[in-house]
Amino acid sequence: MFVLVNLKAYDCDATAIARAAADVADDSGVRVAVAPQTADLAPVAETGVETFAQHVSPVDHGSHTGSTPAEAVADYADGTLLNHSERRLTLADIDGALGAADRAGLETLVCANNPEQIAAVTALGPDAVAVEPPALIGTGTPVSSADPAVVEGAVAAAESDPSVDVYCGAGISTGGDVLAARELGASGVLLASGVAKADDPRAALEDLVSGL
């Protein structure tokens, strides 16, 4: 299983969370990564934790004010999120961003709301997709228990390309949620507030991987 912690734009200590994630990954043997804000990419990467950019733009270097070229983050990031429900893209822009990430050597994870969208983005050839019903994001109610058919449907929708991993997001916060996602066929989880807003992020991370 893969555990990716998205720090969004939360007011949290990104470097401290990254250190904790690196330690938990080393101690458990579970793959754990952190997606910090762009300004925190360098110090987070310096902790040794696997690091994802929260977004890259479907552009090359040039006249693109406000954009984030994949090459601009590639010195620090191992991968990137795309099309999170808080940073939605058109299919054309997802395709363009995937191409940019590929040129920069970044692993790609594309988010989608439901199995139908999972099928559409899987056809574009990312490394992984994550199903995240927006209504459950940040609620603490995991999709794996609120609507397990969504996870099963996403796994089935991605079967058109067996090389694409399927992750489960929205409401993930405990080790039990991670195990439930795995039982439904997911090979990873994407979460945010369960770690970023935790009183003890390291303890939250340890709980997430405790059953793996």
In angstroms, the CA 73 to CA 75 distance is 6
Residue 135 lies in a domain: no
Residue 134 lies in a domain: no
Residue spans of the chain under pLDDT 50: none
Cβ atoms of 103 and 97 closer than 8 Å: no
Residue 103 lies in a domain: yes
User: Of 55, 64, 84, 206, which residue is the catalytic one?
Assistant: 84
C-beta neighbour count of 29 within 10 angstroms: 9
Domain range for residue 46? 2-126+142-190+199-209
H/E stretch holding 102 reads helix 91-104
For 140-161, write each residue's pLDDT tens digit.
777 777 778 889 999 999 999 9
Residue 131 lies in a domain: no
Residue 50 lies in a domain: yes
For 29-61, write each residue's pLDDT tens digit.
999 999 999 999 999 999 999 999 999 999 988
Contacts of 65 (CB under 8 A, 6+ apart): none
In angstroms, the CA 65 to CA 17 distance is 30
- CA angle 11–166–44, rounded 5-degree value: 30
Residue 136 lies in a domain: no
- Give the domain CATH number at 165: 3.20.20.70
Residue 107 is a catalytic residue: no
pLDDT score at 67: 94
Residue 132 is a catalytic residue: yes
- How many structural domains compose the chain? 1
pLDDT score at 58: 96
Residue 132 lies in a domain: no
In angstroms, the CA 138 to CA 90 distance is 24
Predicted model pTM: 0.94
User: Of 46, 61, 86, 132, which residue is the catalytic one?
Assistant: 132
